[in-house]
Amino acid sequence: MASYTLEGSTGTWEIVCGLEVHAQVTSKSKLFSGASAEYGAEPNSHVSLVDAAFPGMLPVINHECVAQAVRTGLGLNAQINLWSRFDRKNYFYADLPQGYQISQFAHPIIGEGVVDVVLSDGSVKQIGITRLHLEQDAGKSLHDQDPTKSFIDLNRSGVALMEIVSEPDIRSPEEAGAYLTKLRQIVRYLGTCDGNMDEGSMRADVNVSVRKAGEEFRTRCEIKNVNSIRFVMLAVDAEAKRQIAIWEDGGEVVQETRLFDVSKMETRSMRSKEDAHDYRYFPDPDLLPLILEQAWVDELKSHLPELPDAKVARFQSQYGLSPYDARILTGEQITADFYEQVAGSRDAKKAANFIMGDYFAALNKNGWNIESSPITIAQIIDLLDLQDKQVINGRIAKEVWEANVAAYAEVDRETWAQVSFSPSQYVDEKGLKQVLDTGAIDAAVDAVLAANADKVAAFKGGQEKLFGFFVGQVMKAMAGKGNPALVNEALKAKLS
Amino acid sequence: MFDLSLKDARDALRAKKFSSRELTSAYLGAVEQLNPTLNAYITTTPDLALQHADAADKALASGDARALTGIPLAIKDLFCTKGVRTTAASKILSPFVPPYESTVTANLLADGAVFLGKANLDEFAMGSSNMTSAFGGVTNPWQRQGSDAKLVPGGSSGGSAAAVAARIALGATATDTGGSIRQPASFCGIAGIKPTYGRCSRWGVVAFASSLDQAGPVARTVEDCAILLGSMAGFDDKDSTSANMPVPDFAAACARGVKGLRIGVPKEYRMEGLDPVIDKLWQQGLDWLRDAGAEIVDISLPHTKYGLATYYIVAPAEASSNLARYDGVRYGARSPGRDLIEMYENTRADGFGAEVKRRIMIGTYVLSAGYYDAYYLKAQKVRALILKDFTDAFGRVDAILTPTAPSAAFGQGEKMDDPVTMYLNDVFTVPVNMAGLPGLSLPAGLDHQGLPLGLQVIGRPFDEETVFAVGQALEKAAGFTALPTLRAGV
Amino acid sequence: MSLDPAAVRRIARLARLRVNDAEVAALQTDLNSILGWIDQLNEVDVTGVEPLTGGTSIALRQREDVVTVPDLTEDVLSNAPDRDGPFYTVPKVVE
């Protein structure tokens, strides 16, 4: 029995789910034409005669798209098929100029693979990859520009897509979300797809069915074009519940294509397309078989960046980080690189804590990300050094950090280049160095204890929590600059 | 002037016997005079032709003449010509003006050719009679002795062949998918060659059946065809099926002779019911080659009889997909509809003729769920067997001689009752397309009604040179000088 | 393999060709004639034969990832039966 189940009136149900992810390949030009693949251009300005399917136009394949597919296959620990073939998938739609999509049906470029997915409880689940193939993306239809007409923009027509099909190994909304997150992470690391689901460069078709423990698979439905990880998880949940209700009512789930309605948080049937599924696949006679050299695949492999799983393992062994912290810091390659620059040869755990704590908090609060943040690595290293060398204590460090952030947050972006904030300089200017002089500390402690005799008595009478009060008062008297360890020591001594 | 072959006209231009403008004007006059009867051209381009001619004369004057400078040609209306309407003889493309030039016609323009206009054809190149054109059928300039009944020029390149035969073009481009260059050449008493698949670029040629289509020339003589093919052919990186092979000097190969060549005679081509006149001409051809020093070898191509059935599965299947883009959305004619599907259905029903619809339907059916293995996949396997037959034969011979067509030109309106009867016209030519081989047809004799009959020479892949050599040897021996009734310069 | 009128209509729908009753009947006759004739391929033994798919069976040539096509908006729309600014327009799909 799967660990995630849904209770119904007739028993316990488990979810069976597989994802087909369409990931736009990062490349300059399109899969079979020399038009630009860049997003966001004026309508129909990134369209070649091939993309618009004019009479006599022919496809010529883009080498980089092939390489990107192979890199992705390697990142999925998958079989690279040195011989693969393109087929035509025939159907009519206004955003499909050729009246067919060039895809790979019988012989995809990438075969079986596997992806490790870590769940919230720390357990690792393996999700199988069935295949990955290359295909053309379609154009865009706008239905809301005019009451009787649809507007067609072919900029996206012919852009390279990788269709990544998972095995139906997913058993819960969480697993679906984790798998998609991992897949996105892998392609972003590899630079083969930017994973921007909101721009449509990555979309998921979600296949869902339900069953009771020990059963064979029941009928599944496909929910098309879900464009966020969160919606994928919600769609899995909504669809599973819908199907369970049907089965429990004595009905039968009908195999169909559905859409996820985000306003109602439920799936609904697409308009039925009776012969929509007879795609009449046959090998594209305008193309020859795609043949790859093993030596070339090996060369691509040798140049791959360190992938997430390897990086997580190395962060644990090299920096002594916990698995959880290692995963947070390797979520994006840019975060991992940033961390490593900061960690350098210092206390790696402290560096990790700072980045995951105060640093990420500042980014969130100000709407920055690592690329756009004005805080420099030099500033962070300076701040951490000041702490490591005991020049300042933790509370002061927070004050310095806040000033560092404010130096940018409170001025216009255009003036950032003129800001020159240095934590060391700030500490000097404001006289924030930590007090390590035991004489001064004793004096402050004496003064506080003298002013709070009643509390001293209460403490000695058993109210141990008052210790924190005394610490706070001493720190206040010392403007926060007392060394915490020495203050504690002194208080302990004088209160015993 | 109309008696000159392309080669002779070219020599005359270079020798300044006349200018290209004079030559072109003469041909334009001939087009104006004869096209109303023949309907060989869908669109004539007199202004453009004279522009080309003037540019040619400049080049000739400055000693910058290229292979075809100043030569007036007809362009089959399947080649996209920039700024010039290109219809594929279909209503669905009747308003279409391409913003681009096909590679083959660009090659011809780069070599200085003059374009007289767009030649008529069977709609979307589907047919063997040029009777399926939405712009009216073409009339063969040949007539039966003692009869003025209109005959077909053959198809699909009927307009190209008729124009050349009637001397209202000095040469023409054509395409061949199942015999569409060779069969009309045979019916019109001229020469024509379908080169090896991949020899000419398909970029900018309206696609019918992608794995079979090939561009090629039709002209008066074998040598004229060689000259034209030399300009048309060549690797094109915009066509993934284009062969990256250098273009040999085809014209020079014509005079090689056939001494020591082994010529194959496939017994399966001697089919039951073969017209005795054609059989006799075939024998005659073998005798001519033997006399010229070739060795005649009996061969067997066992799967010959399955060529047509295989073709009529593969070609319609590919066509059904290639013609899906004609939907009224981005170019061509559009019929109204209340929604998108209705618009598609009306546009395509109104825009396509009956033969095209039949083939789209067959193609859609043989690819549809449950039938792919039984039809398309099986046909591609039989095709492999057909190729193997030829490959094995070419281990023992250097070229193969067969008749081009099972009959001479037939009357307009004949063979129209049952589609299959029309398909049988291609029985000798289709296997050559299935195997991707070069095939040439040349006029070898007349039947008892005075109509031309062609012989077909088939060669190894990319060995058009041997095909031209055998062709010219036959042409010399045949001494075919008969001319059609309807022609310029009479 | 013989087609009935329903099959003919189904194929016509797949091919997006409007057909009326008379056309269905004519197509049924013609298509069945062609299919009957094609059936002779059943005689051929193709055990162990690999399907042929093109002329010369060499590997697919790949091109460099360079943008070679400029802004062709006007060419691309030059023959549009109906357009609105830079868009093609079509009757709405009934969703």
pLDDT (tens digit per residue) in A40-68: 899 999 999 999 999 999 999 999 999 99
Question: Residue A273: is its pLDDT beyond 60?
Answer: no
Tell me whether residues C89 and A152 touch, CB distance under 8 A: yes
Q: Does residue A391 or residue B415 have the better pLDDT?
A: A391
User: In whole angstroms, what is the distance from residue B245 CA to residue B235 CA?
Assistant: 7
For A436, counting Cβ atoms within 10 Å of its Cβ (0-12 exposed, 13-18 middle, 19+ buried), the class is middle
pLDDT of residue C57: 54
Tell me whether residues C55 and B197 touch, CB distance under 8 A: yes
Report chain B's mean pLDDT, rounded to a whole number. 96
pLDDT of residue C54: 54
Structural domain harbouring B349? 305-380
Catalytic residue among B180, B320, B407, B441: B180
Using alpha carbons, list the distances in angstroms from residue B376 to A110, B213, B366, B371, C38.
26, 18, 6, 8, 11
Q: Mapping DSSP to helix (H, G, I), strand (E, B) and coil, where does residue A466 land?
A: helix
Tell me whether residues C52 and B380 touch, CB distance under 8 A: yes
Say if residues B369 and A278 touch (Cβ distance below 8 Å).
Answer: yes
Q: What is the mean pLDDT of residues B381-390?
A: 96
Binding partners of C (≥3 Cβ pairs within 8 A): A, B
Residue B116 falls inside a structural domain = no
* Domain range list for chain C: 5-42
The C-alpha of B441 sits at a distance from chain C's nearest C-alpha, in angstroms, of 21
Closest CA to B328 of B338, B337, B319: B337
Residue B76 falls inside a structural domain = no
Residue B336 falls inside a structural domain = yes
Residue B330 falls inside a structural domain = yes
Say if residues A434 and A387 touch (Cβ distance below 8 Å).
Answer: no
Confidence grade of residue A275 (pLDDT, cut at 50, 70, 90): very low
For C94, nearest residue in chain A (alpha carbons): A271
List residues bridging with A13 in a β-sheet: A6, A212
Confidence grade of residue C1 (pLDDT, cut at 50, 70, 90): low
Q: What is the mean pLDDT of residues C6-27?
A: 95
User: In whole angstroms, what is the distance from residue A424 CA to residue A421 CA?
Assistant: 9
> What residues in C contact B339, CB-CB < 8 Å?
91-94
The C-alpha of A52 sits at a distance from chain B's nearest C-alpha, in angstroms, of 8
Residue B251 falls inside a structural domain = no
How do residues B129-148 score in pLDDT, each as one tens digit? 999 999 999 999 999 999 99
Q: Which tokens go with B104?
A: 């083959």
Confidence grade of residue C95 (pLDDT, cut at 50, 70, 90): low
Binding partners of A (≥3 Cβ pairs within 8 A): B, C
Phi, psi of C55 (to 5 degrees): -70, -95
Q: Lowest mean pLDDT of A351-360, A437-446, B218-227, name the range.
A: A437-446
Q: Between A59, A61, A99, which is nearest B325 by CB?
A: A99
Q: Lowest mean pLDDT of A124-128, A394-398, B182-186, C21-25, name the range.
A: A394-398
> What residues in C contact A271, CB-CB < 8 Å?
94-95
Q: What is the mean pLDDT of residues A430-445?
A: 88
Question: Residue A413: is its pLDDT beyond 60?
Answer: yes
* B383 contacts chain A (CB < 8 A): no
Question: Residue A193: is its pLDDT beyond 90?
Answer: yes
Tell me whether residues C61 and A60 touch, CB distance under 8 A: yes
pLDDT of residue A272: 58
Q: Between A42, A44, A94, which is nearest C77 by CB?
A: A44
Closest CA to A71 of A164, A175, A157: A164
Interface of C with A (CB under 8 A): 10, 13-14, 16, 53-54, 57-69, 71-73, 75-77, 82, 84-95
Q: What is the mean pLDDT of residues C57-70?
A: 90
Q: What is the mean pLDDT of residues A20-49?
A: 96
Report chain A's mean pLDDT, rounded to a whole number. 93
274-333 in chain A: CB under 8 A from chain C: 274-275, 278, 280, 283, 285, 287-291
pLDDT of residue A274: 47
How do residues A301-356 score in pLDDT, each as one tens digit? 999 999 999 999 999 999 999 999 999 999 999 999 999 999 987 889 999 999 99
Say if residues B178 and B433 touch (Cβ distance below 8 Å).
Answer: yes
Q: What is the mean pLDDT of residues B325-353?
A: 97
Say if residues A243 and A208 touch (Cβ distance below 8 Å).
Answer: yes
User: In whole angstroms, what is the distance from residue B89 CA to residue B208 CA?
Assistant: 13
48-77 in chain C: CB under 8 A from chain B: 49-56, 60-61, 63, 75-76
User: In whole angstroms, what is the distance from residue B218 CA to residue B478 CA?
Assistant: 18
Any residues with CB less than 8 A from the CB of A452 and at least 6 apart, and which?
Answer: A469, A470, A473
Residue B248 falls inside a structural domain = no
pLDDT above 70 coverage of chain A, percent: 99
Which amino acid does the sequence have at B99?
A: P
Provide the 10 A C-beta neighbour count for residue A294: 9
Q: How many domains, in total, are found in chain B?
A: 1
pLDDT of residue B414: 85
Using alpha carbons, list the distances in angstroms from residue A207 to A221, A258, A261, B46, B357.
6, 10, 16, 62, 38
* B207 contacts chain A (CB < 8 A): yes
pLDDT above 90 coverage of chain A, percent: 79
How do residues B445-459 score in pLDDT, each as one tens digit? 999 999 999 999 999
User: In whole angstroms, what is the distance from residue B213 CA to residue B216 CA?
Assistant: 10
How do residues B312-321 score in pLDDT, each as one tens digit? 999 999 999 9
* A262 contacts chain B (CB < 8 A): no
Closest CA to A100 of A289, A290, A285, A291: A285
pLDDT of residue A276: 57
* B367 contacts chain A (CB < 8 A): yes
Residue B318 falls inside a structural domain = yes
* A151 contacts chain C (CB < 8 A): yes
Tell me whether residues B420 and C34 touch, CB distance under 8 A: yes
For A41, nearest residue in chain C (alpha carbons): C71
Beta strands in B34-142 (DSSP E): 41-44, 72-76, 114-119
How do residues A64-81 score in pLDDT, each as one tens digit? 999 999 999 999 999 999
Active-site residue flag, B305: no
Which amino acid does the sequence have at B467?
A: V
Using alpha carbons, list the distances in angstroms from residue A76 to A112, A192, A214, A227.
9, 12, 29, 21
Q: What is the mean pLDDT of residues B220-228?
A: 98
The C-alpha of A278 sits at a distance from chain B's nearest C-alpha, in angstroms, of 6
The C-alpha of C24 sits at a distance from chain B's nearest C-alpha, in angstroms, of 11
Q: Pairing state of beta strands A124-136 and A160-166?
A: antiparallel
For C85, nearest residue in chain A (alpha carbons): A43
